[in-house]
Amino acid sequence: MFRPLTRTQLVVDLVVAGLFAVVAVFLTVVTWPSFVSGSTIVDSRVQFIAAIVLTLVFAAALAGRRWAPGLALGVAWGAAVLQMVLALPPLPANFAIFGILYGAAAYGSRVVFWTGFGSALLGAVAITGYLVLPPLILGGYWSDRLDTYVTLGVTLFFSAALALMLAWTIGALVRTGIRARENRRAQELAEAQTAAEAERTKIARDMHDVVAHSLAVVIAQADGARYAAASDPDAATAALGTISTTARAALSDVRMLLTQLRHTQADGPQPTLADLEQLYAQVRAAGVRLQIDVDPAPRGEVPASVQLAVYRILQEALTNALRHGGGEPVEVRLAWHDERVELTVVNDLAPAPVSTVDGGVPAAGSPARGHGLVGMRERAHLVGGTFEAAPESSPDGAERFVVRGILPWTDAP
């Protein structure tokens, strides 16, 4: 029943209603007539007091037209009925009905909205009957002046209906504007939430790529250093150096991603094709043998989105090869054609099935879970490409895991 209003709206409504009450009371006092009922002059003091009270009631209903449209409409109807029961003439305060009908149409609920529509039509009927029927009946004009009063009644009805319906229609138009503005605001909020969710997903995907790859390298080097500590101190020292370098790079990337979370307006620098050699070096330092084949090489400037997708897909695929590979060389093939790049990563799987819990590519027979494959697929789809990843059998019967991606792009002139 009650709508929340801002302080400004509440003050404006109260001030408008207060000014209306002052003006309406003044006009009522100045224009107040004497009442005549038949041949008897009636003392109008009671009617005058009632007129002043009803003026204040109409002003109060006008004040609540936005705060409680349904209540304001009900109060206005009660005051109007009481006015007719007391046989009061039309009052200046009756003009408040137009504002109340406007408020019912503009701010009321669906029930109040249509109640206001019905009130406009029923009010026109009430006004016509109240002003036309008493003189017609009490004056005994049924015979000689009936046509005149019928014409007057029809004219008065259409005039009152037009005025009341105009106020209601203006309120309905304002209601449409308010609904459109609310829908637009809701749409903007939904779009902002969608964009924020997409940004969080992107950052989470980058975080997974960075942390999973770096930790895989660190774990591999730590295991190697532990085994080599007694027999080959130099190898252990080199492994510790690789751990330190990888951890520092990962920490820098994580700090960059956290900065993006705090300042989403400015993205940090993203990996490019120039960073692939550093990626290959980290993987080789972790003990994985790589066979890199780039044929043909890119002949123009590659879009940044494609460079990022290629880097992240290779990073995740090599991380999976490091964790689940069977020790054979990992093959990386990049073919930069005129309108696309074809990416392939092939690695042997470990003989024993190894289930993963962190999103890596599973070994043979273990289920695919986590974010690794999903992240690579999303990377490819974001640039309009395709992605496939599945275990295959090589001609010699060995189990391999093959990652294939085709990313479309256009050579720069």
206 closest CA partner among 60, 309, 116, 318: 309
Segment 341-360 mean pLDDT: 66
Better-predicted residue by pLDDT, 121 or 244: 121
Residue 327: half-sphere exposure toward Cβ, Cα within 13 Å: 4
> For residue range 159-196, what is the model confidence (pLDDT) as tens digits?
999 999 999 999 999 999 999 998 998 888 888 778 76
Q: Which helix (H) or strand (E) holds 403?
A: strand 399-408
pLDDT at 362 over 80: no
> How would you label 197-227 residue by residue, b for 16+ Cβ within 10 Å and e otherwise?
eeeeeebebbbbbbbbbbbbbbebbeebbee
- Mean pLDDT is highest, among 47-56, 184-193, 357-366, for 47-56
How far apart are alpha carbons 324 and 353 in whole angstroms? Answer: 9
What is each CA distance from 202 to 55, 129, 269, in whole angstroms? 64, 70, 14
What contacts 402, CB < 8 A, 6 or more positions away?
344, 345, 346, 388, 389, 390, 391, 392
Confidence bin at 18 (pLDDT 50/70/90): very high
> What number of other Cβ atoms are within 10 A of residue 370's Cβ?
17
How far apart are alpha carbons 156 and 148 in whole angstroms? Answer: 12
> For residue range 265-295, what is the model confidence (pLDDT) as tens digits?
445 567 888 888 888 888 888 778 888 998 8
How far apart are alpha carbons 99 and 20 in whole angstroms? Answer: 11
Residue 400: half-sphere exposure toward Cβ, Cα within 13 Å: 18
Confidence at residue 269, expressed as pLDDT on a 0 to 100 scale? 62
Backbone torsion region of residue 348, taken as left when φ is above 0, otherwise alpha when ψ lies between -120 and 50, otherwise beta = beta
> For residue range 204-263, what is the model confidence (pLDDT) as tens digits?
666 666 666 666 777 776 776 666 666 777 777 777 777 767 666 666 666 665 655 554
Of the ranges 48-57, 345-354, 388-397, which one carries the lowest mean pLDDT score? Answer: 345-354
Amino acid at 213: H
pLDDT at 156 over 60: yes
Please state, rounded to an integer, the average pLDDT across all residues of the chain.
79
What is each CA distance from 11 to 8, 15, 90, 297, in whole angstroms? 5, 6, 29, 72
166 closest CA partner among 96, 111, 98: 98
> What number of other Cβ atoms are within 10 A of residue 146's Cβ?
11
How far apart are alpha carbons 346 and 344 in whole angstroms? Answer: 7
Task: Supply the pTM of this predicted model.
Answer: 0.51
Torsion of CA 299, 303, 307, 312, to 10 degrees: -150
Backbone torsion region of residue 88, taken as left when φ is above 0, otherwise alpha when ψ lies between -120 and 50, otherwise beta = beta
The two tokens of residue 294 are 């780039």
Confidence bin at 366 (pLDDT 50/70/90): very low
pLDDT at 77 over 60: yes
Domains and CATH numbers, the chain: 7-190 (no CATH), 284-413 (3.30.565.10)
Residue 324: half-sphere exposure toward Cβ, Cα within 13 Å: 30
Following DSSP, what letter does each residue of 32-91 receive, concatenated? ---EEETTEEEP-HHHHHHHHHHHHHHHHHHHTTTT-HHHHHHHHHHHHHHHHHTTPPP-
Better-predicted residue by pLDDT, 247 or 391: 391
SS3 call for 323: helix
Proportion of the chain above pLDDT 70, given as a percent: 73
